[in-house]
Structure 1
Amino acid sequence: MFGVLEGTGFETIELEFNACFIGHARVERLWTGARWSEGPAWFPAGRYLIWSDIPNNRIMRWDETDGSVSEFRRPSNNSNGNTVDGQGRLVSCEHLARRVTRTEHDGEITVIAEAVAGKRLNSPNDVVVKSDGSIWFTDPAYGIMMDYEGDRAESEIGACHVYRWDPETLRVTAVATDFVKPNGLAFSADEKSLFVSDTGGTHQEGGPAHIRKLTLMPDGKGVSGGEVFAECSNGFFDGFRLDRDGRIWSSAADGVHCLNPEGRLIGKIHIPEIVGNLCFGGAKLNRLFIAATSSLYAVYLNVNGLK
């Protein structure tokens, strides 16, 4: 069941991709048994990875020291995206509770965001923490569109936006309001750019299936622009991460797509399940952990991810 899988591997589309992988490294399946895997996050101090199994209402934990897998949290309020802040605390998006939370060092849960202007959020999807402590997250309606990953409900906001939580004022403000279904997001290394995927094509004929690139305002609290950075050639870009050289490693229907800093698809890592999200981990951040439908996969790369 576990170990190296046949039918997985690297596909070079442009020669520059060859420098990104190790010739003898293989994709490993570390665990299987989920319904829809999402939101992996690496905790370096504990040498473990957590990820969401949304329909099963739980967060899973994989331990690097012995390869064991256990339930980290159940129920999890149908958690989706997760990340780690500058103090090593877990920040999570919860579909069922329609909120973003932070798990403190003592295990207490702090609500970061659950409403804007008195209206409940839709179902926060993915989240990233900027170096100034601000928390940025996307809020599509997937968790309220059906009962499978949350509770079916009408949107109180009536739209799907990208938001920023301010660590000083504790206020939540919309920073981008022209997305159909904002999904994954990540900052560039210098935090001058914010990349956001739009998966609006999942429920809108001819809708977007791309990643957009937004420019941070001088004060670092807002964004401008938002040109399309890359179109997905197979399915949708869901969650993604950047490496230290500016490449984007993104989920897709046929595995992981690698985009160079100009947005060109240069290669793929084929996975036999639809990939929902991914992250870099390990002591050198050179191991890519891949949350794909029912399973957790991993592969060592010749690149290093951003923290």
Structure 2
Amino acid sequence: MMDTIETKFEKLDDRFDVRGDRRVLRLATGFRWAEGPVYVPAWRCLVWSDIPNDRMMRWDEATGHVGVFRQPAGYANGHTLDPQGRLLSCEQGNRRVTRTEHDGSITVLAERWEGKRFNSPNDVVVRSDGSIWFTDPSYGIDTNYEGHQAASEMDGCHVYRIDPVSGRVDQVAGDFERPNGLAFSRDEQTLYIADTRRNHIRRFDVAEGGALTGGQVFTTNTVGVFDGIRLDDQGRVWAAAGPGVHCYAPDGPLLGRLHLPEPVANLVFGGPKGNVLFICATSSVYAIHLTTNGARRPKA
């Protein structure tokens, strides 16, 4: 049953002019670890992961109904949509990235690099050219809580790109401890990647062909830890960060915080106008209408 919780934005910078509902709507609760939300316009629904319960959940926007989307789900974590509206998923338990076709069948997109199994793909984004980018920390093999405990076959935790034409998988960044959430800028010339272990977000320039350059620290965090990140249409970075959602200016300063009653793991903009922020926070999923919109993918 949906209910509302009173909340507020804590304004930390005079430039922060985002407003929204005085209350957040709790869409559903009772999960072990809610993660990886994705809004699917064609279905008018939100899909997310309940990782330790090995299931994906679905909230229907028109009816408010909440039900199981898929179980078992390979201990899925992050999700996104490709340019054709197909669902892409990081399956921590199966150590792979998959695509759910329009008919419901599942296609494996990546499960190895140079013959070695991935650790546990965590979060995924797609560029308008169809290239798929994902992070590969070890959370799904560290214990049996979020996957299947196993030894890593890799020399660390890295970031990868799947070529849209050949399907080739390339390692594009190899100097992270625990790469986690990632998001493109609106013009897709910049890729932001969170490192949860180091508790900072880095920004990379995206070159032709998919190479990353730069990698300077965009911002660091002292309250909670960074996880999922998204951008709005003004270039602000919205980050799941422990006890709430943090909003950063395009040049890095923290503008404000949205406080929530549970630790926040991930978030996504959605709704018919793209101005609803959906938030996965431990045992619950929340939604709040804002006066800003999520960054829209440029046309290919």
TM-score range for the pair, normalised by the shorter chain length: over 0.9
**Structure 2 counterpart SS, 1:55:** helix
After superposition, what is the alpha-carbon deviation per residue over 1:69-125, rounded to whole angstroms, capped at 9, x for unaligned? 000000001000000111010000001100000000011100010000100000000
Match of 1:244 among 203, 213, 233: 233
- Pair 1:119 & 2:116 matched: yes
Distance, in Å, in 1 between the alignment partners of 2:279 and 2:202 is 22
Unpaired stretches in structure 2, ≥5 consecutive residues: none
- Moved segments of 4+, more than 3 Å: none
- Pair 1:227 & 2:216 matched: yes
Match of 1:216 among 206, 209, 219: 206
Counterparts in 2 of 1:305 and 1:220: CA distance versus 1, 3 Å:
farther
- Pair 1:88 & 2:77 matched: no
- Pair 1:283 & 2:296 matched: no
Distance, in Å, in 1 between the alignment partners of 2:106 and 2:243 is 36
**Structure 2 counterpart SS, 1:273:** strand
Partner of 1:68: 65
Task: Give the 5 Å matches for 1:255-274.
Answer: 255-274=244-263
Task: Give the 5 Å matches for 1:1-307.
Answer: 2-6=2-6, 8-17=7-16, 19-22=17-20, 24-200=21-197, 208-217=198-207, 219-307=208-296
- Match for 2:195: what amino acid? D
Unpaired stretches in structure 1, ≥5 consecutive residues: 201-207
Distance, in Å, in 1 between the alignment partners of 2:99 and 2:2 is 32
The TM-score normalised by the length of structure 1 is 0.95
**Structure 1 counterpart SS, 2:15:** helix
- Match for 1:152: what amino acid? Q
The TM-score normalised by the length of structure 2 is 0.97
Distance, in Å, in 2 between the alignment partners of 1:251 and 1:41 is 15
- Match for 2:178: what amino acid? K
TM-align CA RMSD: 1.0
Instruction: Give the aligned length.
Output: 296
Quick check: 2:235–2:295 contact (8 Å CA) kept in 1? no
After superposition, what is the alpha-carbon deviation per residue over 1:14-51, rounded to whole angstroms, capped at 9, x for unaligned? 1222x2113x5421111101100100001111110000
After superposition, what is the alpha-carbon deviation per residue over 1:181-218, rounded to whole angstroms, capped at 9, x for unaligned? 10000000111110000012xxxxxxx1000001111x
Distance, in Å, in 2 between the alignment partners of 1:164 and 1:52 is 22
Which 10-residue stretch deviates more, 94-103 or 230-239?
230-239
Q: Percent identity?
A: 57
